[in-house]
Amino acid sequence: MRTAKRCIVVVLFVLAFGMITVHAQEPTVNMITAEELKTKLASNQPVLIVDVRSAEGFAASTTTVKGSYHYKLRHLKYRVQYPPFKDLPRNAEVVTYCACPKDESSIVAARILQTSGFTRVRVLQGGWTEWLKANGPVQPRARN
């Protein structure tokens, strides 16, 4: 019986340590404010903007951030092998945004892009909601 308890304790310890190790290996995600992004766009600095709002959220909106590309989050890892990502230098600036309350989807998207080799990826802090509050430039959304 003691051996079984020890085994359970060891297994739990290994699992807990493994989870800590995996969490520690996640890339750090940096944020950019709506005002900072507006300044970059106004001064024509090159930045790829990736909209990862849900299909429903995207469809319910008539506009997107000016110059952005919309991708479903679940397809993003696959999409990096096609333009505009394919031809983009891995040190190019990329900003992701969503409409989640805590930027969850854009953080996941940023990590996918970082794992794919992009080194300058940031998340629009507050996402779509903050962009609208800041009166950031928008464009009509593409019809799919």
* Structural domains of the chain in order of their starting residue, each with its CATH number: 28-140 (3.40.250.10)
91 φ/ψ angles, rounded to the nearest 5 degrees: -100, 10
Contacts of 90 by beta carbon, 8 Å cutoff, 6+ apart = 117, 118, 119
84-132, pLDDT tens digit by residue? 999 999 999 999 999 999 999 999 999 999 999 999 999 999 999 999 9
pLDDT in tens, 11-20: 344 444 444 4
Q: Is the pLDDT of residue 7 over 70?
A: no
Q: What is the mean pLDDT of residues 44-68?
A: 96
Torsion, Cα 71 76 82 84, to 10 degrees, reads: 50
What per-residue confidence (pLDDT) applies to 20? 44
